[in-house]
Amino acid sequence: MPSNPTSFIIAIDGPAAAGKGTLSRRVADAYGFHHLDTGLTYRAAAKALLDAGLPLDDPATAEKMAHDVELDGLDRDVLSKHEIGEAASKIAVMPGVRRALVEAQRRFSGKQPGVVLDGRDIGTVVCPDAPVKLYVTASPEVRARRRFEEIRGKGTTADFDAIFEDVKRRDERDMGRTDSPLKPAEDAHLLDTSEMSIEAAFQAAKSIIDLALSRHT
Ligand code: DC
């Protein structure tokens, strides 16, 4: 493993809109760890292609953009746009793109005193030796409902059925790809947040992390 053996790694994976972003930020804040939302790295590469008017189906060009992604300059507000997420999930199936971004993510994982990385393949591929692996999930209906409420909360109109279809399509693409499909690592703790508040999810995560930290040398 290229990561520094003394940095403490918390790997958080799960499907879109399961609450892993909120949980990851909360965990990173509570422990004073660095946080990387790895979805933003795929989004940044996709945005670079869109901005340059380049095709999304050319692996060599997409890989070049992935190599140029700077982890320091990832702007969540800019990158959270729906069309960037769609484009990201298309280039995320390309092995060259994944190789480039995984390399950058592994470099990040060595930061002291610890890191929280969230994504789809952190526990399975990026940091398979992480002492804490969480797989955060919720039913597609609940995830679509949360996204629906979030959009409406911003004063924008939203169509629940369209969002629900979108969540299911994104799951299919993320779970069905050949390279690094979304799935829980064998040693991941499953956190189903369908019926759980963010506070309850945080407390569950905290118990798991505290135990692993007490064993960490
Ligand atoms: O979590 P997100 O919506 O920001 O992710 C955008 C896309 O990037 C998503 O469709 C899957 C992909 N992704 C991935 O393949 N591996 C990761 N570690 C993170 C995201």
Mean pLDDT value across residues 117-127? 97
Kindly give the number of the ligand 1 atom that is closest to the alpha carbon of 89. 10
Q: What is the number of the ligand 1 atom nearest to the C-alpha of 79?
A: 4
Q: Where are the alpha helices (DSSP H) in the chain?
A: 20-31, 38-51, 59-67, 76-79, 82-91, 95-108, 140-153, 160-176, 198-215
For residue 59, name the pLDDT band (cuts at 50, 70, 90).
very high
Helix (H, G, I), strand (E, B) or coil at 134: strand
Measure Cα distances from 2 to 6, 39, 133 in Å. Answer: 12, 21, 18
Is pLDDT above 60 for 1?
Answer: no
- For the residues 20-25, what does the mean pLDDT come to? 95
The model's pLDDT over 81-99, given as tens digits with 9 standing for 90+, comes to 989 998 998 999 999 999 9
Confidence (pLDDT) at 4: 47
Cα 112 from Cα 35, distance rounded (Å)? 11
Tell which one of 78, 120, 126, 167 to mutate to probe ligand 1, the residue whose CB is within 8 A of the most ligand atoms.
120
Task: Check pocket membership of 117 for ligand 1, CB cut-off 6 A.
Answer: no
When the pLDDT of each residue in the chain is averaged and rounded to a whole number, the result is 94
Query: How many A from CA of 152 to the centre of ligand 1?
Result: 23
Rounded-to-integer distance, Cα 143 and Cα 164, Å: 8
Four-point Cα dihedral 142, 81, 41, 203, nearest 10 = -30
Is the four-CA dihedral 171, 122, 125, 78 of positive or negative sign?
Answer: positive
**For 8-210, which CATH class?**
alpha beta
State whether the beta carbon of 13 lies less than 6 angstroms from ligand 1: no
Q: Is the CB of residue 105 below 6 angstroms from any atom belonging to ligand 1?
A: no
Ligand 1, atom 11: closest residue by C-alpha: 89
Please, are residues 55 and 49 in contact by the beta-carbon 8 Å criterion? yes
What are the boundaries of each domain within the chain?
8-210
Q: 179, exposed or middle or buried, with CB in 10 Å at 0-12, 13-18, 19+?
A: middle
Mutate to test the pocket of ligand 1, among 22, 40, 89 (most ligand atoms within 8 A of CB): 89
What SS3 class is residue 161? helix
How high is the pLDDT of residue 5?
59
State pTM to two decimals: 0.93
Q: In the prediction, which pLDDT does 185 show?
A: 96
